[in-house]
């Protein structure tokens, strides 16, 4: 490596000779170089693109996973949309996505603003790292911990509420509180990847602009809405899209804590898909739900990108 | 020098307390005996009850080992593949380059709810079902979009002269990758490795689907299996809390040792928009 750097000046002297060399030698070499794409492309084609396509094709079949699938047109889609579950699941997932996007955008944004209001240096960095650490705690641990916290008999939350004279809340087992309980997991929601994304974005704006705005009497909430948010709109857009997609897919808390219940109070399309395929052997039906989710995500993402387009 | 921001400092302390209290409670309960937890779940007085950790370690150690093995092999497949692809994207012009690159990036938009069922069928057909290949290959594939993106951006920041001069010295592309790109790119390769470890550590659903043999499970799924066995084994709440600590501690330690790489990895993609 050192040798090549030393020879650098010498290369400039012979530069007229290079184009000729290129035309003769580089073609086979370039072909070989493109072969370097192969491992990555092969992985992605085999384990990402193929199953994705297979899912869309399979959604038009009836299939129990053992016999060969049989073509059945749109019947899976029709069956799902006409089932009583569709409306319930749509309402629940809409609630979780809207609530979840707020918790994973607004609260991390507030956290980033608070951290930036600290003086630069050691303390700011320490606080930032303290908010980063919980991001890597495995989701199943977080879920179990919150199931304990919200346990009506022994949990910390009801114990605290009890001090204020509030009767025990049934949280996950209450029809009206179960969905909200799912949202509560992770409170106060600062430790989210979007915290780091906002922090980097706001630091990218730079002190000068923010301080100049304050000098001009544009401070506090006004500065945040007029200066900060428009300047990091690209990050806001990114965070809204990725957290929306993540929430639509993440039925793990529901799978572990309520299985969609009580009744159907926490039933969501992702869990319905999982149950159809892995409990009821209705693989085609499950893939149809997965395909519908994918299409819905594309539409919503497109809409979000349009509405939050950065104005230059 | 501005006034010290008391208001936001107090708010931050409160938010940090709310964030950490649940996990402090876990650590605290992990050293109590089961009867102490039952009588006084929130109390802080406890004699260190080591038995919880012995039970939890015996139950969890296989899953911790499995996770490390799966993560290491996945990284050894995914990182070199993405390095090679990122190198091509960073240094070569070819027809359709934009399209191929977007095909990689577009994968970030494909939800795993779409691929879950066919992937399950596919690993069965490939005879990967019920062995670690069912985890390793999809994990390696799933990491490609982000890794290829991160690596490409990083490699583009290496001066092109360096590649050119090595080429003129007769260095092959593989030689350039091994001897020039890799040593210069340790930080971004670390970033990719750390992000993969964290994702694999946290994945619960796919191992439960692909590995019916619970001895093979990784830590998140294994933790639930261990907790589910309590009725039969007579373990109590204390061992459960100790198991939570064992499931959190290694990945937090990894993060603390590589904080800079993790933070860079998360922000690198987003800031450039």
What ipTM was estimated for this complex? 0.93
Residue A280 CB neighbour total at 10 angstroms = 11
End-to-end CA distance of chain A: 43
| Residue A161: other Cβ atoms inside 10 A | 15
Tokens of A258: 């309520």
What is the distance between the alpha carbons of residues A203 and A125, in angstroms, rounded to a whole number?
Answer: 13
Q: Provide, as residue numbers in chain A, all residues whose Cβ is less than 8 Å from the Cβ of B161.
A: 8
Domain A81-307, CATH: 1.10.3720.10
Tell me whether residues B115 and A238 touch, CB distance under 8 A: no
Q: CB contacts < 8 Å between A and B, how many?
A: 274
The Cα A186–Cα A154 span in angstroms is: 19
Q: What is the mean pLDDT of residues B54-81?
A: 97
In degrees, rounded to 5, the angle at the alpha carbon of residue A127 between the alpha carbons of residues A126 and A131 is 115
Residue B141 at interface with chain A, using a CB cutoff of 8 Å = yes
Distance from CA of A261 to the nearest CA of B (A): 19
Query: CA A113, CA B42: separation in Å to the nearest integer?
Result: 33
Cis peptide before A173 (omega within 30 of 0): no
Query: Which tokens sit at A98?
Result: 């809207």
Which residues in A102-134 are b (16+ Cβ under 10 Å) and which e?
A: ebbbebbbbbbbbbbebeeeeeeeebbebbbbb
d(CA A32, CA A211): 53
Segment B147-162 mean pLDDT: 92
State CA A307 to chain mean position distance.
Answer: 19
Model pTM score: 0.91
The half-sphere exposure of A62 on its side-chain side, counting CA atoms within 13 A, is 7
Q: Return d(Cα A57, Cα A37) in angstroms, integer.
A: 27
pLDDT at A311: 63
Taking 50 as the pLDDT cut, the residues of chain A under it are 1-25
CB contact under 8 A, A30 and B94: yes
B2: confidence class by pLDDT, cuts 50, 70, 90: low
Say what the pLDDT of residue B45 is: 63
Domains of chain B: 45-271 (1.10.3720.10)
Residues 29-68 of B with CB under 8 A from A: 41-42
- According to DSSP, the β-strands at A61-62 and A70-71 are antiparallel
The confidence score (pLDDT) of residue B46 equals 63
Q: What percent of chain B has pLDDT over 70?
A: 94
**The predicted structure's pLDDT at residue B40:** 73
- Sequence ranges of the domains in chain A: 18-76, 81-307
Query: For residue range B97-112, what is the model confidence (pLDDT) as tens digits?
Result: 999 999 999 998 888 8
Q: Residues of chain B with pLDDT > 90: what percent? A: 68
Chain A interface disruption, residue of B109, B114, B236, most A CBs within 10 A = B114
CB-closest option in A55, A65, A141 to B247: A141
Report the first-to-last Cα separation within chain B, whole angstroms: 33
* Chain B residues with CB-CB distance to A291 below 8 A: 114
């Amino acid at each position: 490596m050192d040798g090549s750097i030393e020879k650098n000046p010498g290369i400039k002297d012979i530069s007229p000779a290079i184009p000729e060399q290129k035309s003769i030698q580089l073609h086979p070499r370039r072909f070989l170089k493109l072969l370097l794409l192969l491992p990555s492309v092969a992985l992605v084609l085999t384990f990402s693109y193929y199953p994705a396509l297979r899912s869309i094709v399979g959604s038009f079949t009836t299939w129990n996973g053992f016999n060969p699938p049989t073509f059945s047109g749109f019947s899976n889609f029709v069956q799902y949309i006409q089932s009583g579950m569709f409306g319930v699941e749509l309402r629940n997932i809409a609630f979780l996505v809207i609530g979840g996007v707020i918790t994973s955008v607004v609260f991390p944004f507030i956290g980033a603003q608070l951290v930036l209001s600290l003086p630069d240096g050691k303390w700011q960095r320490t606080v930032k790292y303290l908010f980063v650490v919980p991001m890597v705690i495995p989701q199943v641990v977080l879920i179990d911990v919150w199931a304990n916290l919200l346990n009506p008999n022994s949990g910390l939350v009801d114990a605290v509420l009890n001090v204020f004279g509030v009767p025990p809340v049934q949280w996950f087992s209450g029809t009206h509180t179960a969905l909200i309980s799912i949202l509560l997991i992770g409170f106060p929601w600062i430790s989210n990847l979007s915290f780091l994304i906002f922090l980097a974005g706001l630091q990218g704006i730079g002190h000068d602009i923010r301080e100049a705005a304050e000098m001009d009497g544009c401070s506090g909430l006004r500065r945040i809405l007029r200066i900060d948010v428009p300047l990091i709109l690209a990050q806001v857009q990114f965070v809204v899209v990725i957290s929306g997609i993540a929430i639509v897919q993440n039925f793990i808390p529901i799978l572990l804590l309520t299985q969609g219940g009580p009744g159907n109070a926490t039933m969501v399309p992702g869990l319905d898909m999982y149950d159809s395929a892995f409990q009821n052997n209705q693989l085609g039906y499950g893939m149809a739900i997965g395909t519908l989710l994918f299409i819905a995500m594309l539409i919503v993402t497109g809409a979000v990108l349009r509405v939050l387009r950065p104005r230059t | 020098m501005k006034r010290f921001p008391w208001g936001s400092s107090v708010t931050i302390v409160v938010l940090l307390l709310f964030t950490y209290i649940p996990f402090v409670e876990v650590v605290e309960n992990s050293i109590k005996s089961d009867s102490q937890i039952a009588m006084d779940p929130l109390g802080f007085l406890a004699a260190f009850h080591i038995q919880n950790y012995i039970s939890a370690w015996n139950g969890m150690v296989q899953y911790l080992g499995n996770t490390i093995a799966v993560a290491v092999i996945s990284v050894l497949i995914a990182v070199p593949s993405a390095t090679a692809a990122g190198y091509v994207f960073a240094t070569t012009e070819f027809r359709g380059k934009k399209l191929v690159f977007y095909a990689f990036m577009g994968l970030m938009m494909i939800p795993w709810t779409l691929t879950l069922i066919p992937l399950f069928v596919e690993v069965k057909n490939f005879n990967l079902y019920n062995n670690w290949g069912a985890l390793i290959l999809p994990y390696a594939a799933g990491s490609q979009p982000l890794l290829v993106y991160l690596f490409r951006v990083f490699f583009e920041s290496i001066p092109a002269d360096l590649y050119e001069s090595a080429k003129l010295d007769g260095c092959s592309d593989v030689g350039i990758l091994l001897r020039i790109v890799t040593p210069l790119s340790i930080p971004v390769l670390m970033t990719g490795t750390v992000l993969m470890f964290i994702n694999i550590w946290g994945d619960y659903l796919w191992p439960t689907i692909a590995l019916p043999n619970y001895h093979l499970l990784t830590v998140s799924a294994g933790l639930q299996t261990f907790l589910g066995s309590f009725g039969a084994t007579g373990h109590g709440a204390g061992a459960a809390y100790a198991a939570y600590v064992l499931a959190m501690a290694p990945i937090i330690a990894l993060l603390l040792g590589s904080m800079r790489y993790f933070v860079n990895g998360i922000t690198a993609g987003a800031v450039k928009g």
